[in-house]
Structure 1
Amino acid sequence: MFAVTRLRVSPGSAGDLPADLDRLLAALSARPGFLGGESGRCADDPELWALVTRWDGVGAYRRALSAAEVKMAGAPVWLHAVDEPGAFLPLEESPGSRGA
């Protein structure tokens, strides 16, 4: 599965965000089931950023989010999170995706 967290950040508040994202990715990468991740800034909207991570399952992702070190590293990042669902199953793993 993969997770997408979109972040809305005003230009004046973005100064520490790259370092905050690096700290969060480091904390997530230490959790079981983490397969990879990256972050970046939108090419068309400089106030929109994204954090994308890949996991070996929804359970590993949710357990990682509940770890204390992830909560601490994530707090300055999630402050900017857009409130929307963010956990996705690839089409080959999604129920009902065959023949869609």
Structure 2
Amino acid sequence: MNVDNVKSQMRKGMLEYCIMLLLHKEPAYASDIISKLKDARLIVVEGTLYPLLTRLKNDDLLGYEWVESTQGPPRKYYRLTDKGELFLRELEVSWKELNETVDHIANR
């Protein structure tokens, strides 16, 4: 078994949650989301991010608005919808439960 494959699957599993956590704090455009994820050492490329943002938008968890930019074309800023905020709360509960389970097993 390859540890890199397992790490990749773990990252994919929490990527949606991390993106929603970022957008809960403030609306952001895709490049900003990628930068913040990289700062947190969760490396994501545009080819991974854009399909995920589209899926979350299609599920009505994200919305967006176009904002004029002084440095080029308008930027699409993503934000959580009300449904997205509720979904994020559910994910937070699940994350805490999962953390408790792993901590319990690791510390036995």
Same fold judged by TM-score > 0.5?
no
Question: Which structure dedicates a bigger proportion of its chain to strand?
Answer: 1
The structure with more helix, counted as a fraction of residues: 2
Q: TM-score, normalization: structure 1?
A: 0.31
Give the alignment's TM-score, normalised by structure 2.
Answer: 0.30
Higher relative contact order (CA 8 A, sep 6+): 1
